[in-house]
Structure 1
Amino acid sequence: MGIERTLINQKGKECLELASETKNSKSRKSRRRQRKMSQVQKLYDICKEVFATGGPDIIPPADDIQRLKSVLDGMTERDVGLSPNMSCFRRTTTDQLPRITYLHLHECDKFSIGIFCLPPSAVLPLHNHPGMTVLSKLLFGTMHIKSYDWAVDVTSDANPPGVRLAKVQVNSDFTAPNTSILYPADGGNMHCFTALTPCAVLDVLGPPYCDPEGRHCAYYLDFPFSSFSVDGVSVPEEERERYAWLQEREENPEDLTVVGGMYSGPKIVDN
């Protein structure tokens, strides 16, 4: 009995030691996986969670937006395999506006991830994001951003034909690192980017553009408030510079050239 008890105790001790070793081994492997996980993979995994139940005009909870922003805030061009010295950031000698390169990382019916590469003087014209929550991270460079939301705090007897009043939300230069957030109806849903230096912008859109579902990218012309005379517009004289009239373009801007590029950064794995 004493020998059996000793053997049982010894076997129990060995089992506990083996279980502990297995647990430690799994823990070490888990830590190694976490260390090896790229920032792009982390971004994708969080997007998959945050936008899982999302849709047009559905804004994720503030805590989830902050989770996404925290990952983006920590990302640099190295995390996506980019460098300002790459050819897509060089301006060629031409009279036309420089072409913009778009790098596709992921797109599904819930969200998309992509990068716009802009040489100096490149312009991404004023455009909208219908029903979307958008996080844009300036990975490097300096750019001028001008953004609008539709004016809901102003009443008028009638709008001029073909235009609609909008309010300026941002009209400033931004230098990396910078993460901006816009929402379906506020935060600057319609914006224009002008690269002052080579720039890379990482975009997260939830949900993405989808023509069949009515989420197409519309481009706009903007006109100063003083361009039109409208009776009954309740905008104080001193604030009229903060407003503009936007007119949707019937066709995409002729001087806009966006080409697809090959993304060479860390791959995204769909877990």
Structure 2
Amino acid sequence: MGIETALPDRKGKVFCELPKKTNSRSKRSRRRQRKVFRVQKLYETCKEVFSSCGAGIVPPPGDVEKLASVLNSMKLEDVGLNPEMSCFRTEAPDEAPKITYLHLYECEKFSIGIFCLPPSGVIPLHNHPGMTVFSKLLFGSMHIKSYDWAVGSPCNPSANANPSQIQHPGVQLAKVKVDADFTAPCNSSILYPADGGNMHRFTALTACAVLDVLGPPYSDPEGRDCTYYFDFPFTNFSVDGVSVPEEEREGYAWLQEREKLEDFAVVGAVYNGPMIVEC
């Protein structure tokens, strides 16, 4: 699904030769150039930020801030989308809404893509092993719920519970990181390999689009496959040696891996926005 079409070489000549008074076509041309610049700037910033990173390696704080700043400036029109497109409409009211994925770029260091969700569309709870992930809501409203593995879960390196103590195989303790509604325009959310809400679920309150940057991308051969989860209230299960004060239990949940996702459909579509030029 990669799109690697080169752009014409403009080198700023159009801007130099524009008269003071421009017609509507010239204005549209300048707007198109700004869109290309923003997508290209995102790619170039990702290339710089993730150049020395890999699985489990988080970019320095300054680089995280730099990439977040680029994403925060991006809008729906910068990637050639508008809210009237069919991918933002529910086609069959009696079926789970289909999610559309647009692939912009991927290399071994990072990937860039867009999820387009119709109203009530859901991206189920899933993880991002060894990744630093930036998610920018381009338009619309969505609910995000995210978790990190809690102390007391075998997935947490600092856990104080032995895996053999778990009475329900595949169920592990997680702490709620985010449980809130978000409406564009808003800043990017950032999650890290071990914190920041590495496992999250997106639920579209309205039609919406999310621009995702993953560093590094998913890779089955390298052990970075995507795992999906059910989440259950803390009171549903118990583990010897793990206790949470009663007043804090709403901030915890048990996560259990899911094998099948009958109610989740993602369809790929061609990205028709401004192209990224590799450099």
Deviation of 1:31 after TM superposition, in Å, equals 8.1
Aligned to 1:224: 233
Any stretches of 5+ residues in structure 1 without a counterpart?
1-26
Structure 1 stretch 125-134 or stretch 226-235: which is displaced more? Answer: 226-235
Matched, 1:130 2:139: no
CA distance in 2 between counterparts of 1:119 and 1:93 reads: 11
Residue number among 158, 166, 171 corresponding to 1:159 in the alignment: 166
Aligned to 1:144: 143
CA distance in 1 between counterparts of 2:92 and 2:181 reads: 25
Deviation of 1:232 after TM superposition, in Å, equals 2.8
Aligned length: 243
Aligned to 1:40: 39
* Equivalent pair of 2:166/2:240 in contact (CA under 8 Å): no
Matched, 1:207 2:206: no
* Equivalent pair of 1:120/1:197 in contact (CA under 8 Å): yes
Deviation of 1:156 after TM superposition, in Å, equals 4.3
CA distance in 1 between counterparts of 2:94 and 2:12 reads: 57
Moved over 3 A (4+): 27-33, 153-157
Q: What are the equivalent positions in structure 2 for 1:78-89 lying under 5 Å apart?
A: 78-89=77-88
* Equivalent pair of 2:96/2:121 in contact (CA under 8 Å): yes
Higher relative contact order (CA 8 A, sep 6+): 2
* Equivalent pair of 1:155/1:234 in contact (CA under 8 Å): no
Matched, 1:112 2:111: yes
CA distance in 2 between counterparts of 1:123 and 1:100 reads: 8
* AA in 1 matched with 2:166: N
Q: TM-score, normalised by structure 2?
A: 0.83
* Equivalent pair of 1:222/1:244 in contact (CA under 8 Å): yes
Structure 1 stretch 74-83 or stretch 90-99: which is displaced more? Answer: 90-99
Aligned to 1:100: 99
Q: TM-score, normalised by structure 1?
A: 0.85
Any stretches of 5+ residues in structure 2 without a counterpart?
1-10, 17-29, 153-158
1:130-185 per-residue CA deviation (whole Å, 9 max, x = no partner) reads 00000000000000000000002774462232211000000110111231000000
Q: Which has a greater percent of helix?
A: 1
Q: What are the equivalent positions in structure 2 for 1:62-77 lying under 5 Å apart?
A: 62-77=61-76
**Greater Rg, structure 1 or structure 2?**
1
Percentage of pairs with the same residue: 68
